[in-house]
Amino acid sequence: MHIVHTIADLRQQLSGYKRPAFVPTMGNLHDGHIALVKQAKPLGDVTVSSIFVNRLQFAPHEDFDSYPRTLDADAARLEAAGCDLVFAPREKDLYPEPQTFKVHPATDLSDILEGHFRPGFFIGVSTVVMKLFSCVFAGMPSGVAAFGKKDYQQVMVVRRLVQQFALPIDILAGETQRAADGLALSSRNGYLSEAERLEAVQLSLALKGLGEAARATSTPDLPALEAQAMQALARRGWKPDYLTVRRRADLMPPQGPLAAQPLVVLGAAKLGNTRLIDNLEI
């Protein structure tokens, strides 16, 4: 496995290949990232993963500076998973000058849920994804890029980006990987104290309970059920941003009877100093 830091070296290593399988990450890898690498690998002729903590998607008060950087350990895990090439640019390599050209996704998707509570987040995500795609797939007839469903809204933004820019890239959405107790794997789980880690599973349980309540009748009072779910988490010491039932197609609130609609229950809440997100398709 090769590790490269510059765009020029990345493209030199990719010369001769026709269909990269790409897994972009911010490092501090867990089993969810490794599962994506293993799922993507058979779909391309070279497997690439990037490790880059993207400043553009962090607000000033968020954890950019403290986000764990664990390149050596990440590289070892990627090599064991069969990754061929790691692109680990420094900030000056990917952003040699201020990134004044940015990708602004449609507000109907990017300004709700995560975008509402983290303004500008999906502009930062879309911009770095477009730049990474241009680094990895330049001159390629096709490719595949893998993203985890834990970041459900992010996957939808990336799918729409690829569609609207007519990029020859297939998007693979990998299922959320979970710990034995049901907690969605996340790099930020490492911030949790021992007691918080035991409590953290309550987010996934709350989503499951909200989904079951929503499906209990054909026309439930969703705002009331969502408020009850948030209040129950708050009583346990959480600070929930949202727990909500949405249509999978566009993340809008469902209208009419729910029985025939593919839905997803999404949640974001802060436990101590750690903000966790999760979702469950129903």
- pLDDT, tens digit, 9 for 90 and up, residues 255-265: 888 877 899 99
* pLDDT digits 0-9 by tens, 177-220: 999 999 999 999 999 999 999 999 999 999 999 999 999 987 89
C-alpha pair distances (Å), 141 with each of 138, 167, 170, 276: 9, 10, 12, 37
Q: Where are the domains of the chain?
A: 2-174, 187-281
CATH 3.20.20.140 fits 187-281, yes or no: no
Question: Which residues share a beta bridge with 173?
Answer: 147
Helices and strands, number each (H, E), in the chain: 11, 9
Integer Rg of the chain from CA: 19
Q: What percent of the chain has pLDDT over 90?
A: 93
What residues form the annotated binding site for (R)-pantoate? 57, 154
2-174 classified as CATH 3.40.50.620: yes
**Vertex 77 angle, CA 159 and 44, to 5°:** 45
What is the percentage of the chain residues whose pLDDT exceeds 70? 100
| Catalytic-labelled residue, pool 33, 61, 104, 116 | 33
The binding site for ATP comprises: 26-33, 148-151, 185-188
Give the count of alpha carbons within 13 A of 182, CB side only.
Answer: 13
User: How would residue 29 be classed by pLDDT, with cut points 50, 70 and 90?
Assistant: very high
* Nearest Cα to Cα of residue 208 among 266, 247, 277, 248: 266
Bind-site residues? 26-33, 57, 148-151, 154, 185-188
- pLDDT for 218: 79
Q: What is the pLDDT of residues 114-159, one digit of tens each?
A: 999 999 999 999 999 999 999 999 999 999 999 999 999 999 999 9
* 116 is a catalytic site residue: no
Binding residues for beta-alanine: 57
Res 49 pLDDT > 80: yes
Does residue 81 have a pLDDT over 90? yes
